[in-house]
């Protein structure tokens, strides 16, 4: 098997795997990922969730590629997710299950993702992750020091094939472009004591 190319930037999700994001800012993380993936996008929201994406507020080029599935039950949601991961043309599948995924369900989703060569992103409640996930992100919105800065505090809490990390990102939600913000008062190299 060919080795997979190393991710070029920290937020590249590994292809053909299912990832997880938690925290209050998880939908913003999902939107950035939607803007970064090519091809049709599928967002699976339970039918009773009040929040829906608003067309004019979505990043550039996401709105016309987005398909919204609103299944009525949890079983239908998992079925939809598996089916859309298996569908070859889909670029990214975002799903918001209500209950924690079992190991079996998580594993089935990984197999479906490998079969369809599709990337999946599961937006989970806090600490409701599945052990089968490839990476798990914790996402929070962060107050910015100046106006015009829309900061996000994204940390990688679990990574099966790499290191963990923590980033503060300035992403304004209009396109796929973002800037990494070094922490205030933090140096690139640890400062040596002068004596």
Is-contact 77 25, C-beta < 8 A? Answer: no
Q: According to the binding rule CB under 8 A, does residue 176 interact with other proteins?
A: no
Got the DSSP string for 119-142? EEEEE--TT---TT-SEEEEEEEE
Is-contact 138 154, C-beta < 8 A? Answer: yes
Is-contact 11 32, C-beta < 8 A? Answer: yes
Give the one residue of 16, 18, 21, 28 binding other proteins; rule: CB under 8 A: 28
Q: Roughly how many angstroms between the first and final C-alpha of the chain, as a whole number?
A: 53
Which stretch, 120-128, 135-143, 160-168, 179-187, contacts other proteins (CB under 8 A)?
135-143
Q: According to the binding rule CB under 8 A, does residue 140 interact with other proteins?
A: yes
Q: According to the binding rule CB under 8 A, does residue 27 interact with other proteins?
A: yes
Mark 42-61 with x for binding to other proteins (rule: CB under 8 A) and - for no binding.
-----x--xxxxxxxxxxx-
Per CB under 8 A, residues contacting other proteins are 24-25, 27-28, 31-32, 39-40, 47, 50-60, 63-72, 76, 79-80, 83-84, 87-90, 140-144, 147, 150, 152-153, 171-174
């Amino acid at each position: 098997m060919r080795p997979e190319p190393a991710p070029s930037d920290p937020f590249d999700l590994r292809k053909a795997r299912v990832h997880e994001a938690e925290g209050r800012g998880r939908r913003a993380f999902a939107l950035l990922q939607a803007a970064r993936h090519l091809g049709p996008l599928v967002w699976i929201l339970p039918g009773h969730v009040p929040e829906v994406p608003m067309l004019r507020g979505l990043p550039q080029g996401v709105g016309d590629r987005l398909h919204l599935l609103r299944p009525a039950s949890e079983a239908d949601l998992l079925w939809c997710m598996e089916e859309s991961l298996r569908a070859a043309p889909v670029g990214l599948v975002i799903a918001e299950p209500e209950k924690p995924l079992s190991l079996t369900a998580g594993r089935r989703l990984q197999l479906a993702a490998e079969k369809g060569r599709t990337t999946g992103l599961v937006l989970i409640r806090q600490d409701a992750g599945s052990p089968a996930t490839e990476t798990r992100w914790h996402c929070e919105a962060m107050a910015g020091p100046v106006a015009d800065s829309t900061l996000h505090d994204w940390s990688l809490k679990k990574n099966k094939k790499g290191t963990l990390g923590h980033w503060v990102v300035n992403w304004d939600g209009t396109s796929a472009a973002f800037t990494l913000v070094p922490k205030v008062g933090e140096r690139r190299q640890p400062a040596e004591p002068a004596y």
